[in-house]
Structure 1
Amino acid sequence: MTKIFTHDDLIRYVYDETTTEENRLIEKALAIDLALLEQYQELQKLKTQLDGSMMAPSEKTINSILEYSKDFNLHPVKD
């Protein structure tokens, strides 16, 4: 019996959150199911794009967060 893999299974696989056994089964399915392979490749591309778009917050954003924190005594902030 062939296991049907969901979109969530592929996302877990892309982010290395699957077990060794799941990896083996997914890789086997990718080798024979072109539609699944295309989904996997698209997820890989999206992950790469997301990883590349990670940025640091602007100085203005950091200062806004710190001011908010000071105004509400949420967290001690040193001046």
Structure 2
Amino acid sequence: MIKTFTHETLLQYVYNELPAEQQVEVEQALVHDADLAARCADLLLAQRCLDALQSTPSDRATQNILNYSRTFLRAS
């Protein structure tokens, strides 16, 4: 029996959010379906790229925010 998986299911698989039984089903399908495996590989690559992004503001942005907030202290 051929089972199809939605994009959302693949995302849940990539982020380890599937129940164990469904995770096994996806892994078995990945072995037998090259297209599904390629789509999953793309999602894994995107996940790796997103995880590598800087998640904190730059020093300049932080300084700009602090300088702006100080204008309210002076006006009081």
Q: TM-score, normalised by structure 1?
A: 0.73
Instruction: List runs of 5+ in structure 2 lacking aligned partners.
Output: 72-76
Q: C-alpha deviations, 1:3-28, integer Å up to 9, x for none?
A: 21011110110011111011110001
Structure 1 stretches of 5 or more lacking a match? 72-79
The reply on whether 1:44 has 2:44 as its aligned counterpart is: yes
| Higher deviation after alignment, 34-43 or 59-68 | 59-68
Backbone CA RMSD of aligned residues: 2.2
Q: Indicate the structure whose relative CO is greater, using CA pairs within 8 Å and at least 6 residues apart.
A: 2
1 or 2, which has the higher helix percentage?
A: 2
* Amino acid aligned to 1:41: A
Query: Secondary structure, in 3 states, of the residue corresponding to 1:12?
Result: helix
Identity across the alignment (%): 35
Give 1:12's aligned residue. 12
Which secondary structure state, in structure 1, belongs to the residue aligned with residue 16 of structure 2?
A: coil
SS at match of 2:17: coil
After superposition, give the CA deviation of every residue in 1:41-68 in whole Å (9 maximum; x if it has no partner): 1111111111111332023433555677
Given the two structures, how large is their TM-score scaled by the length of structure 2? 0.75
Cα 1:4/1:64, change in 2 over 3 Å: same
Tell me the residue number matched to 1:58: 58
In structure 2, the partner of 1:27 is 27
